[in-house]
Amino acid sequence: MDYLFLFYYFKGKKLDLNIDLIFKIAAIGILITVITQVLKKSDRDDIAMLVSIVGIVIVLTLVVNVVGELFTTIKQIFYLY
């Protein structure tokens, strides 16, 4: 049995291997960077820091959801309940 096959299919369900999450994180990063730079040029450093922290929190929530799905899939593959 091909072990690579297990990573692409699990119990007849194709695992989602797209790169939408990477594009979302990149778009959020670019947007937050532009907003932060504009705020820093207008001497609003405190608000710029707040915007940066909010951007990090948004990205972390996206990543935490994916990592949770990863652990669930690993538990199911190796029958770790």
Q: What is the pLDDT of residues 16-53, one digit of tens each?
A: 556 888 899 999 999 999 999 999 999 999 999 999 99
Residues shown for the chain: 81
% of the chain surpassing 90 pLDDT: 49
Number of domains comprising the chain: 1
49 neighbors 33 (Cβ within 8 angstroms): no
pLDDT greater than 60 at residue 11: no
The predicted structure's pLDDT at residue 1: 44
Tokens 């007849």 map to which residue? 12
The predicted structure's pLDDT at residue 72: 87
Give this prediction's pTM. Answer: 0.70
Question: At a CB cut-off of 8 Å and minimum separation 6, what does 31 contact?
Answer: 55
Q: What is the C-alpha separation between 6 and 47, in angstroms, rounded?
A: 47
Using CA atoms, how far residue 23 sits from 11, 32, 42, 69, in Å, is 28, 14, 29, 19
Q: Provide the residue range defining the domain that includes 44.
A: 3-77
- The pLDDT of 2-22, averaged and rounded, is 58
pLDDT band at 15 (very low <50, low <70, confident <90, very high): low
Neighbours of 48 (CB within 10 A): 19
